[in-house]
Structure 1
Amino acid sequence: MRGASAESVATLTEALEATVDAGADATRLADDLLGVAAILRREAGLRRIATDVSIAPAAKSDLVRQVFGSQLAPASLDLVAQAAGRRWAGSRDLGDALEKLGVIAVVRGADDAGQADALEDELFGFSRLVSQNPELRDALSDPARSAEDKRTLLHGLLEGRVTAATMRLAEQSVAGFHRTVAVALEEYQKVAAQHRNRLVATVRVARELPAADEQRLQGALARQYGKPVHLNVVVDPRVVGGMSVEIGDDVIDGTVSSRLDEARRRLAG
């Protein structure tokens, strides 16, 4: 999002944080915000009115209070009303913003419960599972399958293996609001990292890293980039030895396989 929409998201994110700090239930906030986002995406007329710049902000806020008043927790209703009163660059941006706020609320709830690291690890693990299994990816993205069918499939895969926060975002990823499930999961991982003011590094190695080596690498990257770093470790036998680290747009490739490839290119040249 850019322009007015980006400014609105920043303001609403601060309001969400203040609301949770004041004692609001982050899980209820997440469910309410994600639910309203879904309704706005389905109801084009309501979406257009709620983002119409020719209508006074107070009138739009009053409208959403009338529409959603009996369905939402008071704290959630205040946030949705505030969102309707903000300026948006495009009519779809309001629903997208409320989904992002809902995801932030999920992350905040996990953080308060001491499960934010687990959430990031589990989201990454689930995204890998989806990307590596074409049949699963197709089943979760199939528009002919009902949302309930997809949720049942998800629960069969993940129930008892992930935190409630991860399950909630996994369910959201199959709602059909993103191009693919993989795209949705990638977006949620970015939101989680941004909310926690961290960078995410994907580390590819030939075998599992010992915990001590993982901590040293994490510390070295944090010192280099000036921010805490969360590691997503991928075990890939093709690496042979060494490791490859991707962090943001940077790629640090110290793998044996890359050195062998470079040697072959030089010999061929």
Structure 2
Amino acid sequence: MHGSSAESLARLTDRVVAAVEGGADGAELGTGLFGASAVLTTQPGLRRALTDPSTEAAARTGLAETVFGKHLSGAAVTVVAEAAGLRWVASADLADALEQLGVLAIVRAADREGAGDRVEEELFAFGRTVTENHELRSAMSDPARSVADKQALVRGLLEGKAHPSTVALVEQAATGGHLTVTSAIDTFVALAAKARNRLVALVRVAQPLDADEEKRLAAALSAQYDRTVHLNTVVDPSVLGGVHVSVGDEVIDGTVSSRLDEAGRRLAG
């Protein structure tokens, strides 16, 4: 987001963090914000009314309270109403921001109970499962299946096995608000890391790293970026050997395959 939308999101981020740290039920707050985001996504008229800069902020806030007051928790209504009173570059930014804030609330709540690492790892693992399992990927992307059906599939796969926060986030990923379920999960993984003031490194290796290797690599990356770095590791035989690391837009490629490719280019030249 840019301009006034980014400023509004930053202000609301502080509000959500303060609410969760102050004892609000983060899971309830997060699912409420997801619900409000879904309503605004499907009702462009309401979305435009809540973001119309020609309408007084107090009127927009009052409209949000009227629409959502009987359906969401008090904490969620407070956030949605405040969001309606702020300025947004595009009306769609409001719905997007509420989804991001929902992820933030759920992740911060999980982190408060010591489950932050678990949720991040489970999100990443489920995303990899969808990517690698053709049948599951088809089921999650099938336009003939309703959102409720896809969410029921998620619950059947994850309930009792994954943390409730993970289930809630994957259910949200299945709503179709992103290009694919895996792109939604990737976005949520990045938001989770940001919420916990960490960076995520995608590590590709030919063979699994042992615990000491992971610890050394994480320490080296954390020192390089001056922030805690969490490793998401993918075993990819095509790298042949070495390590390929992606941190945001930066790539550190120390794989055998890349060196062979470079050697081949030099020989061809």
Name the TM-score class by shorter chain: over 0.9
Partner residue, 2:129:
129
Partner residue, 1:78:
78
Which one is further off, 231-240 or 4-13?
231-240
Within 5 A, what are the aligned runs for 1:245-260?
245-260=245-260
Within 5 A, what are the aligned runs for 1:1-16?
1-16=1-16
- What's the CA shift string for 1:39-97, capped at 9, x where partnerless? 11112221111111111101111111111112222121111110110011111111111
Give, in whole Å, the separation in 2 of the partners of 1:229 and 1:53: 40
Within 5 A, what are the aligned runs for 1:176-195?
176-195=176-195
Give, in whole Å, the separation in 2 of the partners of 1:221 and 1:205: 16
Partner residue, 1:138:
138
Within 5 A, what are the aligned runs for 1:141-220?
141-220=141-220
- Measured after TM superposition, the shift of residue 144 of structure 1 is 1.6
- TM-score, normalised on structure 2? 0.95
Q: Are 2:56 and 1:48 aligned?
A: no
Q: Are 2:37 and 1:37 aligned?
A: yes
Give, in whole Å, the separation in 2 of the partners of 1:71 and 1:98: 15
Partner-residue secondary structure (3-state), 1:184: helix
Partner-residue secondary structure (3-state), 2:77: helix
- Measured after TM superposition, the shift of residue 175 of structure 1 is 0.5
After the TM superposition, list the runs of 4 or more consecutive aligned residues in structure 1 that deviate by more than 4 angstroms.
none
Q: Which runs of 5+ in 1 are unaligned?
A: none
Partner residue, 1:108:
108
Partner residue, 2:226:
226
- TM-score, normalised on structure 1? 0.95
Partner residue, 1:17:
17
- Measured after TM superposition, the shift of residue 116 of structure 1 is 0.9
Q: Percent identity?
A: 54
Q: Which runs of 5+ in 2 are unaligned?
A: none
Q: Residue type of the partner of 1:76?
A: A
Which one is further off, 5-14 or 111-120?
111-120
- Measured after TM superposition, the shift of residue 260 of structure 1 is 2.4
- Measured after TM superposition, the shift of residue 258 of structure 1 is 2.1
Q: Are 2:89 and 1:89 aligned?
A: yes
Give, in whole Å, the separation in 1 of the partners of 2:79 and 2:251: 40
Give, in whole Å, the separation in 2 of the partners of 1:135 and 1:39: 30
Cα RMSD after superposing both structures: 1.4
Partner-residue secondary structure (3-state), 2:251: strand
Partner-residue secondary structure (3-state), 1:254: strand
Give, in whole Å, the separation in 2 of the partners of 1:62 and 1:19: 21
How many corresponding residue pairs? 269
Give, in whole Å, the separation in 2 of the partners of 1:248 and 1:94: 25
